[in-house]
């Protein structure tokens, strides 16, 4: 899978893309990163990428032509990618969106700076994504959030094929609690069922805790959850426990 990033600050990506899982997947040629400096596509002598807003007001606005030129350059080398504009005005990113985007062969993430990009960019992109209801100073951090969460869903990126299947939010549920050694820490014990060796009981306990945590912490997620027969029994047990 190819990630192209259009940015005014390409160095921003050097360290994060050269660590751990993403670096390994790049070395193994499962992922490929193409970090493009928008400034290289501003053709005036000062390589201007921003200008004052029409109608007045504070700050600067990113110009459309350098971006358009950069997009053409990407397309002539690698074909048309799926374009995503990073913007606080976009649809809020979720695990569901990450799974959908992980199936695209080539994503191009466009990072704004200053007061944002000339609004006409919207006609050139496929989708606008926000990573949450707060304002960042640039799209780079949000692009890294997408890269991190999408790439770990690309087959072969995580070592263990199973390891993201049961993760939080994959099924609109939070993940069950996890423990490792020691068995007792400052008087706090690991739930005994996990030491029992009874795989069926462990599986059922995990499922119940996963649903219980979601009901307590994120009731909003439960609206999308589709319980099976066993889950319905577990939910009844949980509700009885909560009302005691
Ligand atoms: N004035 C703009 C915000 C500009 S912030 C507005 O009110 O809509 C500068 C850049 O940071 C944006 O162009 C965008 O690329 C990025 N950015 C800021 N907050 C973001 C968020 N929550 N999600 C994704 N990108 C964001």
Residue-wise pLDDT for 154-196, tens only, equals 999 998 665 666 777 878 899 999 999 999 999 999 999 999 9
156 in a domain, yes or no? no
Could you tell me if 22 and 122 lie in one domain? Answer: yes
Which atom belonging to ligand 1 lies closest to the Cα atom of 114?
9
pLDDT at 170 (0 to 100)? 77
Could you tell me if 92 and 197 lie in one domain? Answer: no
170 in a domain, yes or no? no
CB 115 within 8 A of CB 12: no
15 in a domain, yes or no? yes
Span from the CA of 165 to the centroid of ligand 1 (angstroms):
31
Residue-wise pLDDT for 40-94, tens only, equals 999 999 999 999 999 999 999 999 999 999 999 999 999 999 999 999 999 999 9
pLDDT at 38 (0 to 100)? 98
For the domain that residue 76 is a member of, what is the CATH number? Answer: 3.40.1280.10
Is residue 182 reached through a cis peptide bond, with omega within 30 degrees of 0 on the bond before it? yes
Could you tell me if 136 and 198 lie in one domain? Answer: no
Which residues in 24-182 belong to E strands, given as ranges? 32-37, 50-51, 61-62, 82-92, 106-110, 127-130
Could you tell me if 6 and 88 lie in one domain? Answer: yes
Query: Rounded distance, CA 237 to CA 244, Å?
Result: 11
Domain range for 44 is: 2-151
Span from the CA of 208 to the centroid of ligand 1 (angstroms):
39
Q: Which of 151, 167, 192 is the last residue of a domain?
A: 151
**What is the CA 168 to chain-centroid distance, rounded?**
13
Q: Within 13 A of 7's CA, how many CA atoms are on the CB side?
A: 23
For the Cβ of 110 lying below 6 angstroms from any atom of ligand 1, the answer is no
133 in a domain, yes or no? yes
Q: How many domains does the chain have?
A: 2
pLDDT at 162 (0 to 100)? 56
Could you tell me if 22 and 128 lie in one domain? Answer: yes
Query: Rounded distance, CA 45 to CA 225, Å?
Result: 56
12-26 exposure pattern, b = at least 16 Cβ within 10 A, e = fewer: bbeebbeeeebeebb
For the domain that residue 189 is a member of, what is the CATH number? Answer: 1.10.1270.20
Span from the CA of 145 to the centroid of ligand 1 (angstroms):
14
| Cβ contacts of 218 within 8 Å, gap of 6 or more | 174
Most informative mutation of 6, 88, 142 for ligand 1 (most atoms within 8 A of CB): 88
Could you tell me if 43 and 120 lie in one domain? Answer: yes
Average pLDDT over residues 117-138: 98
For the Cβ of 89 lying below 6 angstroms from any atom of ligand 1, the answer is yes
Could you tell me if 138 and 55 lie in one domain? Answer: yes
């Amino acid at each position: 899978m190819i990630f192209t990033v259009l940015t005014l600050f390409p160095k921003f990506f050097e360290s994060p893309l050269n660590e751990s899982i993403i670096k390994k997947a790049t070395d193994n040629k499962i992922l490929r990163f193409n970090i493009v400096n928008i400034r290289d596509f501003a053709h005036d002598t000062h390589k201007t990428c921003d200008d004052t807003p029409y109608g007045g007001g504070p700050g600067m606005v990113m110009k459309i032509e350098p971006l358009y030129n950069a997009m053409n350059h990407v397309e002539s080398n690698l074909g048309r990618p799926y374009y995503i504009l990073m913007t606080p005005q976009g649809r809020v990113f979720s695990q569901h969106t990450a799974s959908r985007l992980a199936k695209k062969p080539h994503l191009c993430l466009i990072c704004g700076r200053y007061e944002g990009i000339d609004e006409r960019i919207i006609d050139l992109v496929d989708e606008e994504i926000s990573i949450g209801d707060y304002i960042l100073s640039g799209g780079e951090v949000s692009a890294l959030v997408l890269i991190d969460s999408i790439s770990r869903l690309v087959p072969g990126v995580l070592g263990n094929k199973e390891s993201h299947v049961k993760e939080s939010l994959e099924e609109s549920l939070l993940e069950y609690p996890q423990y490792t050694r020691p068995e007792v820490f400052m008087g706090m014990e690991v739930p005994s069922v996990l030491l029992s060796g009874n795989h069926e009981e462990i599986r059922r306990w995990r499922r119940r805790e996963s649903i219980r945590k979601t009901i307590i912490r994120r009731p909003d997620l439960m609206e999308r959850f589709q319980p099976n027969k066993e889950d319905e029994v577990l939910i009844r047990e949980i509700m009885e426990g909560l009302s005691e």
